[in-house]
């Protein structure tokens, strides 16, 4: 329910901002959109600005709680953003992250600056990403580093689990003995 409210307010505001061209009507509808956006920020704790570029079928598990998206971020289709994820720009105003289709951003991930997250890439929980993540890669850690490339993930929404990767060997995780 929360996810639908957040995305409904975003879609209404984005549509008004780009499609309504009658001057008086546009200003009135934008005022309503910004009031709704403020309510979403205060009540649902999610900041999804109307000026961000968001593709179809953005998933916000846990109702998008704590999600912050920079106003100039670009998010592709079928992306999943878990709670407490931040997409932000550097202090020098150098740009915001671009997220490719089918990407998965795990809980608490922080993506800063003009970086690109490739198609079907996964950013691990709590990772701080300061550089590009290639398509199909798995990035974890602070600062984030690639522990797997081309792991051929299907997003969890498609019914397949994420692989376990041993961060030391970059290979499949082995069962622990003893």
Catalytic residues: 62
Helices 23-44, 2-19: axis angle to 10 degrees equals 160
Tell me the β-bridge partners of 59.
80
Q: Cα separation of 151 and 79, whole Å?
A: 17
Q: Give the 3-state secondary structure of residue 61.
A: helix
Q: Cα separation of 20 and 29, whole Å?
A: 9
- Please check whether residue 144 is in contact with residue 132, taking contact to mean a CB–CB distance below 8 angstroms: no
């Amino acid at each position: 329910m929360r996810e639908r409210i957040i995305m409904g307010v975003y879609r209404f505001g984005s549509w008004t901002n780009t499609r309504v061209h009658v001057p008086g009507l546009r200003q009135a509808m934008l005022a309503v959109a910004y009031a709704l956006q403020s309510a979403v920020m205060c009540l649902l704790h999610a900041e999804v600005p109307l000026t961000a570029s968001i593709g179809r079928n953005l998933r916000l598990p846990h109702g998008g709680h704590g999600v912050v998206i920079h106003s100039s971020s670009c998010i592709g289709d079928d992306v999943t953003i878990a709670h407490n994820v931040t997409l932000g720009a550097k202090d020098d105003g150098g740009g915001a992250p671009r997220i490719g289709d089918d990407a998965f951003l795990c809980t608490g991930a922080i993506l800063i600056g003009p970086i690109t997250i490739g198609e079907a890439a996964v950013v691990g929980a709590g990772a701080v990403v300061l550089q590009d993540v290639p398509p199909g890669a798995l990035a974890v850690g602070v600062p984030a580093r690639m522990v797997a490339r081309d792991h051929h993930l299907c997003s969890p929404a498609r019914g397949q689990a994420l692989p376990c990767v041993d961060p030391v060997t970059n290979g499949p995780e082995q069962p622990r003995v003893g």
